[in-house]
Amino acid sequence: MGRKRDPTQVVKSGPGKKAKKQQPPTFPGLLTEDKTETKKLSSRQKKRLKNREEKRQKFLSMKKEKEESYQKLKAMKKSKQVEESKENKSNNNNRKRKISKQESSEEEEDEDDELEDESEEDGINEEAESSDEEEVESSDEDPQGYTDDNKLWLKPSKRKMDEDVSESEEEDENDSDDDGDDDNMDDEFDSDEDEEDEDENEDMLPIEKAAKKLNKKQEKDRKLAEAELQTNISEMEKYTLPSGQEIEKESQQPPDLQLILQRIKEVQHVLGDFKGRREPDRTRQDYLDQLIKDLCAYYSYNEFLMEKLVQLFPHEISEFLEANEVQRPVTIRTNTLKTRRRDLAQALINRGVNLDPIGKWSKVGLVVYDSQVPLGATPEYLAGHYIIQGGSSFLPVMALAPQENERILDMSSAPGGKTTHIASLMKNTGVIFANDANKDRAKAIVGNVHRMGITNTVICNYDGRKFPSVMHGFDRVLLDAPCSGTGVIAKDTEVKMNKDEKDIQRCSHLQRELLLAAIDCCDAKSSTGGYIVYSTCSILVDENESVIEYALNKRNVKLVPTGLDFGKEGYVNFERHRFHPNMKLTRRFYPHTHNLDGFFVAKLKKFSNKIPGAEEKTRVATEMADSVNVAEDVKKEVAVKGENQSGEEPVKDNKDTAPGKKDNKKKGSSKWNKKDTAKKTFKPGKFKKFKNNDGKSKQKKKPKSKN
């Protein structure tokens, strides 16, 4: 076949034919650049460059001269010190060497400082002299500095010289910017000045600059006015309350809100240090009355409710009232039976909803700031992925802490937010009884339970006070009691004017009855539970701590920690009230501190199913019934004896009664009890009916005996 070619020994061929024919490119002479040639400068640029180099050289030479003069002075001083030390040694031979060395070292340090000061002064003087000489030589037409005969001692300071040099350099740079040919100069002085020029020459229109100046001026005036007002208030020793005539004039005129607000602040300022700021003829109650009137006029509350709020928040009343004027943020709760919070948040963000997690204390809550779609009509809402629920409504269920496969009662559950939350925590296991006294509101529970996919809930409609007679033996009971609504004034502003003392007393009485019924429904022998959670959307003590104190006295329960990491402790001492020491385990939530609706949460543990005092009541009732029976028997016996003594014939039908008397004598009981042998106990209420029937029967039998 022929000899094969070894590919490893192939010699590389040179460039191709086209490459060989191609010649190197040639350019016209105008475009060629000689790297050796430097760029030509204009005459003006050459002068400026020359001046800068001369100044630079002079500055360096002055610096060297300073250093040399300083070294010379230092050497001279050292030589003088040596001579003085020798003389001191000869004169003071009795002194110790250590002391002499210490003194000499201290003197050297002081003299070094003096030398430095003198050298600096000499350097300044030399700089001034050199600058004067430059000014005289540079131009006779425009003399700079001092030109009189005393210029030797009238020398400008170093700071003045530096400012003059910087101004001259700035002028040179401005000229170079106008020419546009000095961009390639890499001088160290030019770089700093270019940066300053860029900062100063910002792109701002004249009208923008004027507006900026005007805003600064207005802000400055406002700060001065506030400072002056504060100083006036602080300097004012005593605030005088308005007199009766002034109050009458104000009542006849429309209210001036600014004046009222200013008076509120001043009265609060006086109450902050009442002893030092009050008027001598005024009492604390006078200031409090004026404060309550002004707060009622400014925030539109009635006096009864405002007094209650001032008692609760003596120092934070303004913050609380201002928080009630602002709506709480909209919150939603994720249904963990159908989705996760992360997936729900991503789906809502894609629909144009701006939201964030509600906080570290909840793993299912989201706060909605803004939404481009209605939250109650999204596909996620209709599919039951979330429910619109207030953030404070999460807290009772978190305190209840339901476990799987338990039997739980939600005594007042409408509209079903807490019930569905309990079901999601139980993962649709166990049984939940959702009760509500209002039949129309119970329909909302049905809708939410179906939409959220709850399958372990029984919905019923009973009066909560009578529920123990219907069913009992629950592991855990949740009672979100109906209340006055003083914690949700931002939602219902009618509370400001509608609530009075009777409404509060009515709510408190109902809450006590419901709480006792809830405790009776709970089973103390439950292996996993025996807990009752009581919550209200009110902040008044009459509806919270007072109700819990009543339950502690009437039932075998005790307070336990709620498990909530935040919130303020309940009151142990409030005004004239003294509550149980464990009342601090309860939790209070306020709109101005936690940005939640006003709420109260307490958790109780039942340790016995017996009702205190119930046995004594039954014993007393039975004793009273027995005493009534004995008294009636005595009366009947006396009546029968009287009839026999009057000479009347005995009744024919008394044959059956004769043996009965003998039996009664033996047993120690009357014949009247023998007729009701079928009844085990004698009820006092039926005694009159029994007596009347006997009387009628006697009247019928008497005529028969006569015949």
| Catalytic (active-site) positions | 537
Q: Is 178 annotated as a binding residue?
A: no
Q: 361: which DSSP letter?
A: T
Joined together, the tokens standing for residue 258 give 């600014």
Q: Is the dihedral of CA 155, 158, 159, 160 positive or negative?
A: positive
**Residue 587 to residues 518, 598, 601, Cα–Cα distance (Å):** 20, 11, 5
**Residue 317 to residues 287, 313, 494, 601, Cα–Cα distance (Å):** 15, 5, 19, 22
Gap between the Cα atoms of 349 and 343, Å rounded = 10
Q: Is 633 annotated as a binding residue?
A: no
**Residue 418 to residues 219, 367, 408, 440, 484, Cα–Cα distance (Å):** 51, 18, 12, 18, 20
Beta bridge partners of 487: none
How far is residue 703 CA from its own chain's centroid? 91
Q: Collapse the DSSP code of 657 into the 3-class scheme (helix H, G, I; strand E, B; otherwise coil) and give the result.
A: helix
Element (H, E) at 363: none
Beta bridge partners of 64: none
Q: Is 414 annotated as a binding residue?
A: yes
Q: Is 162 annotated as a binding residue?
A: no
Q: Is 338 annotated as a binding residue?
A: no
Q: Is 436 annotated as a binding residue?
A: yes
520 closest CA partner among 556, 561, 553, 547? 556
For 92, residues 6+ apart whose C-beta sits below 8 A from its C-beta are: 100
For tokens 């001046």, the residue is 51
Name the phi and psi angles at 169, rounded to 5.
-70, -35
Q: Collapse the DSSP code of 407 into the 3-class scheme (helix H, G, I; strand E, B; otherwise coil) and give the result.
A: strand
Contact between 592 and 322 under an 8 Å Cβ cutoff? The reply is: yes
Mark out the alpha helices in 479-531 (DSSP H runs). Answer: 495-498, 501-521
466 closest CA partner among 411, 416, 504? 411
- Residue 40 region, left (φ>0) first, then alpha (ψ -120 to 50), else beta? beta
Q: Collapse the DSSP code of 472 into the 3-class scheme (helix H, G, I; strand E, B; otherwise coil) and give the result.
A: coil
Q: Collapse the DSSP code of 387 into the 3-class scheme (helix H, G, I; strand E, B; otherwise coil) and give the result.
A: strand
Q: Is 563 annotated as a binding residue?
A: no
Q: Is 143 annotated as a binding residue?
A: no
Gap between the Cα atoms of 416 and 449, Å rounded = 7
Q: Collapse the DSSP code of 698 into the 3-class scheme (helix H, G, I; strand E, B; otherwise coil) and give the result.
A: helix
* Cis status, amide bond into 415, omega within 30 of 0: yes
* Beta strand pairing call for 568-569 and 599-606: unpaired
173 closest CA partner among 39, 51, 40, 38? 51
Amino acid at 478: L
**Residue 620 to residues 369, 411, 617, 669, 683, Cα–Cα distance (Å):** 63, 33, 5, 21, 13
Name the phi and psi angles at 502, rounded to 5.
-65, -40
For tokens 């400014």, the residue is 298
Name the phi and psi angles at 275, rounded to 5.
-65, -35
Amino acid at 583: M
Q: Is 480 annotated as a binding residue?
A: yes
Cβ neighbour number for residue 131 with a 10 Å cutoff: 22
Q: Is 415 annotated as a binding residue?
A: yes
* Number of DSSP helices (H) and strands (E) in the chain, helices first: 26, 15
Angle of helix 188-200 versus helix 158-179 axis, rounded to 10: 80
For 593, residues 6+ apart whose C-beta sits below 8 A from its C-beta are: 568
Gap between the Cα atoms of 647 and 114, Å rounded = 150
Contact between 633 and 641 under an 8 Å Cβ cutoff? The reply is: no
**Where is the binding site, in residues?**
412-418, 436, 463, 480
Annotated binding site for S-adenosyl-L-methionine: 412-418, 436, 463, 480
